[in-house]
Chain A
Amino acid sequence: MICESLSDRMPAVAKGTEAWDPEEAEHLAWCQDCQAEWAVIAPIALASAAAVDPDVDLDRVASGVLARLGTSRGVLSLNRFSAARRWYRPLAGLAAAAALVLAFASLRPDPIADDVATREPTAIPELDVLFESELELLLASLTPVADEIELLPSGIPRLGDLTDVELELLLETVEG
């Protein structure tokens, strides 16, 4: 918890309005995460102080921040940011899932993508936008059921003999 406490006080200490107490100073002496954060926070706090203190050299502060960001990249870890980690994990999972879904969805061919101009002449160009599975359903809905289903000698077709398309058509008929 002392890490979080230090984080909260870093800006004030950097501006000189407050000071570390002995326990904080000792912690800062050995905690690499806090040292890394201090290396970033302190120049930023100083820069914000520059708004009221024109004597602070902003260019020098900016150079210092950039330099420290460069050297601390490998030291600053997410371990101390427990609150951030609580957000990070589910978000990372969702992002990965979304990326995968989009990647797979992009593999789905566009029904009107590229070969429309070379397709056979048509009386119903509106069909160009449909996928195969949709065309099958449409065809089934246009075809009278009696033409498609071969009746058993008893005159009663078995559901197990029907194709997926025929079952879907039957379901639509039953559901109205």
Chain B
Amino acid sequence: MTTNRGSKREISLVVNGERRTVRAYPMERLLDVLREQLSLTGTKEGCGEGECGACSVLLDGELVDSCLIPVAQAEGAQILTIEGVAENSRSNALGEAFLECGGAQCGICTPGMIVAAVHLLDRSSAPTREDIREALSGNLCRCTGYLQILEAVAEAARRTAAR
């Protein structure tokens, strides 16, 4: 057991499939470590209080708000960010569907929305409209009114199942 007052420590994580080690204060937010130290700026800050979901990532396969996670608690974890999603061809169906269905307008909520959708489609290959709504209800969007996002996720699910 270690206690380090005001000093950085080495924290090891797997980010988008790659092992990374960062030097950070334990209470640095996972969001800030991803964005600033690992230059993965796709994950956004919208509120800093776990309400908007713009900072959503997958941590050990679970959808979480990275603005609420001290990086020390992510020691040894597998993190998936939007950059990792974009590289994966299965998850690319989501990106394509968002483009075709108008799921992205200003784009700032889009990374979080797509990560939340990945989390859903990892668990459910034929989600209902209600399932999709619930899965995305922690991601706020101000531009789209949500409907084209829900349609994009449904379309991506259909295409993925069809493969």
A, B bound? no
List B residues at the A interface (Cβ < 8 Å): none
